[in-house]
Chains A and B, each alone.
Chain A
Amino acid sequence: MATRILHRRSRTREVLTRLSAYLAILVALILTLFPIYWIAANSFKFDIDIFAVPPEWLPRNPTLKHYEEAFIHRPFLRYALNSFLVAVGTTVVSVVFGTMAGYALARFNYPWQWRKQISFWILSTRMMPPIVSIIPLYLFFNYFQMLNTKSALVIAYTAFNLPFATWMMKSYFQDLPVELEEAAVVDGDTRWGAFRHVALPLARPGLAATAIFCLIISWNEFLLSLIITLTEQSQTLPIGIAGRVTQYNTYWGEISAAGFMACVPIVIFAFIVQKHLVRGLSLGAVKG
């Protein structure tokens, strides 16, 4: 009898624990999703409905007016294209060179403990807060007349993405068994050939994860672009959005539409690559 009561009580407790856990996760989901829903909802409302008190939880009169405004009458498409080109350029440069450097640091020996010193130095460049390098970069680009160019942005972003890519790829290669490459060399391939034909194909998931992160970081970057670009022809999407928050007026509908559009590719992208994302980041970060 006693054991049965005890048993029943612990079962009730287990059910209660389970329920409160689900409830906590549900709350976390709502808190995560609501702000995204809210900016999306407001981007489809007429101005007058954005200012409605109490707020309209669902857009009563959905409209694409703000999207038309942002993407047809204002140059947001240009901004988005700039963001895209700069992000892709930065990613290509960072992943290509970062992969080679990561492989070298994972596989080769260097005299005088260079390997450790260089690895640490590369990581330490990532610690530099962007605001620190902005003044010299600005003067540098000014000197070479590169202000307001996309190449300047690619160069500046590479400074932040290359160390990251190198470290991600280094830890990824360290995880791959070296024997396969050794076998390839024994079979007559060169070291470079072993890298190209054996290590690189095996590292594809790591490459994907690294590329994804470089793309996201560059697509989202704000501060460097704010300083380096001033013209519509060169500015990126985050700057275009921020530009519509002025001292006198905030164009809520328009910036909601543009802000939501800046999120959409990232979210779609995240779901397509979710497997690489979790694996890649956990590998890169957990293994340091």
Chain B
Amino acid sequence: MLKSASDGTSSTQSRPGGGLEQWAERHLRYLMLAPTVLILLALTIFPSLYMFYAAVHKISPNPDLPWEFVGAGNFARLLSDAQFHVALRNTIVFTVVAVTIEFLLGLGLALLLDKFIRRLTFLKTVLMVPMMLPPIAVAITWKLIYEPQFGVLNEIMYRLGLPLQAWAGDVNLAMFSIIVADVWQWTPFIFLLMLAGLASLPVEPYEAAALDGASSWRQFWDLTIPFLKPVIAIALLLRVMDALRLFDLVFILTGGGPADRTKVLSLYIYQVAYRFADPGYAAAISLFVLFVTIVLSTWFMKRMRLAD
């Protein structure tokens, strides 16, 4: 207290422990950062190291048996594991198709609302509701809609004179059913980000463009899209990262079936670890997923200069 020259009239004056306080004040930049860094170190570095360790071992489901060192064996298995290849392909198909549809619909909807009904915040919030709901509730809702016997979707098909389908239970439609449910839940997220981006567009370039007689189509391509580019980049990055880890929808709607058509990487890792009781191999697949995600997103962020 005595030595603290910078302590003025604020409430800190009345607190005891001046020496310690002064020390804390001098190292504030580290002290404020420390809890977060320490927690994240413990919760990410430890699991990562542990994963590397587990990935080079064959771990018996019997906890009394020692781990058997297999070196790169688990990674070599990836090359010849047909189920892994199926899961990888399904994940890529899901990610590309779902994120593309979500992006187009979300951007389109944002443009419509921005141009035609700007002030209705209430309406915007209604349109954003799906992204806030528990994915498990979303999965169950769509399970009910897709139900082949009494589901409402088949009722609509019947009314329209179209053939009834098994939807999530059909080999050819299962992935499509998952994608529809995901699009329903996550288009609002893209919509929200695009709406925020549109709200922050400057007005002047558009006035200038209108004076030059540029069509609204030209204005969209030459002004709106370039302005929105950083927002678009972030929206896509976040959605792709989430799509790569899809689990809940598949777990409830199809369980990975029929005939492995919706088996995605997260579900496969879950099955390997807990159903086939092979955590060592599951760790190897997880590392593969982690590696791909980090490489992809780092490359993307560098490219889009998002990390500054």
Contact residues of A with B, CB < 8 Å? 18, 21-22, 24-25, 28-29, 31-33, 35-36, 38-39, 42, 50-55, 97-98, 100-101, 103-105, 108-110, 116, 118-125, 127-137, 139-140, 155-156, 158-159, 162-163, 166, 185, 187-193, 195, 197, 216, 219-220, 222-223, 227, 237-238, 241-242, 245, 250, 252, 255-256, 259-260, 262-263, 266-267, 270-271, 274-275, 277-278, 281-282, 285-286, 288
Could you tell me the dominant secondary structure of chain B's interface residues? helix
Is the beta-carbon distance between B36 and A128 smaller than 8 angstroms?
Answer: no
Give A270 Cβ to nearest chain B Cβ, in Å: 5
Q: Within the complex, which residue of A25, A132, A237 is in contact with B289, where a contact is CB–CB below 8 Å?
A: A132
Q: CB-nearest residue of chain A relative to B109?
A: A28
Q: Which residues of A contact B12 (CB under 8 A)?
A: 189-190, 192-193
Give Cα A267 to B36, complex, Å: 30
Is the beta-carbon distance between A190 and B127 smaller than 8 angstroms?
Answer: no
Is the beta-carbon distance between A286 and B193 smaller than 8 angstroms?
Answer: yes
Instruction: Digitize B31-60: 1 where CB-to-A-CB distance is under 8 Å, 0 elsewhere.
Output: 011011101100110111011001000000
Give B39 Cβ to nearest chain A Cβ, in Å: 6
With A25-B116, A119-B307: A32-B127 Cβ-Cβ less than 8 Å: yes
Q: CB-nearest residue of chain A relative to B304?
A: A288
Is the beta-carbon distance between B307 and A116 smaller than 8 angstroms?
Answer: yes
Give Cα A173 to B292, complex, Å: 32
Is the beta-carbon distance between B293 and A127 smaller than 8 angstroms?
Answer: yes
Is the beta-carbon distance between B155 and A55 smaller than 8 angstroms?
Answer: yes
Give B128 Cβ to nearest chain A Cβ, in Å: 7
* Interface size grouping (class) on chain B: 35 or more
Give B281 Cβ to nearest chain A Cβ, in Å: 11
Q: CB-nearest residue of chain A relative to B267?
A: A131
Give B91 Cβ to nearest chain A Cβ, in Å: 11
Is the beta-carbon distance between A132 and B51 smaller than 8 angstroms?
Answer: yes
Q: Within the complex, which residue of B37, B43, B133, B150 is in contact with A159, where a contact is CB–CB below 8 Å?
A: B43
Instruction: Digitize B133-159: 1 where CB-to-A-CB distance is under 8 Å, 0 elsewhere.
Output: 111111011111100011110010010
Contact residues of B with A, CB < 8 Å? 6-12, 24-25, 28-29, 32-33, 35-37, 39-40, 43-44, 46-48, 50-51, 54, 108-109, 112-113, 115-117, 121-130, 132-138, 140-145, 149-152, 155, 158, 184, 188, 192-193, 195-197, 199-200, 230-231, 234-235, 238, 241, 244-245, 247-248, 251-252, 265-266, 269-270, 273-274, 279, 282-283, 286-287, 289-290, 293-294, 297-298, 306-308
Is the beta-carbon distance between A100 and B248 smaller than 8 angstroms?
Answer: no
Give A166 Cβ to nearest chain B Cβ, in Å: 6
With A100-B32, A136-B51, A282-B193: A190-B293 Cβ-Cβ less than 8 Å: no
Is the beta-carbon distance between A128 and B141 smaller than 8 angstroms?
Answer: no
Q: CB-nearest residue of chain A relative to B9?
A: A188
Is the beta-carbon distance between A270 and B293 smaller than 8 angstroms?
Answer: no
